[in-house]
Amino acid sequence: AIGISTSGNSANVIKGMKAAKSGRLTTIAFTGGKGGKLAGLADIAFVVPSSSVPRIQETHITLGHAICQLVDQRLFGVVKK
């Protein structure tokens, strides 16, 4: 399960992360600032050390694209240029 919150403290995202944890899912957080509560709940946390929401969101998008490319490579041997 993946939770995304620029502050790391969005109540609905934290609630979803807790539900995922109770279902024994691996959890990943994309947050900003110092990570907030969400980073502490996740198995893996990507914390963008910034208070600028646009910079945090841009970094989350870039991370998402990088992860998708890695999954494509692993599952299908696809290398995008």
CATH number belonging to the domain at 2-76, selected among 3.40.50.1000, 1.20.1250.20, 3.40.50.10490, 3.90.800.10: 3.40.50.10490
Whether the full predicted model's pTM is greater than 0.75, yes or no, is yes
From first to last of the 81 residues of the chain, give the pLDDT tens digit: 999 999 999 999 999 999 999 999 999 999 999 999 999 999 999 999 999 999 999 999 999 999 999 999 999 997 766
Tell me what the pLDDT averaged over the chain comes to.
95
Q: The dihedral of CA 25, 26, 31, 35: what is its sign?
A: positive
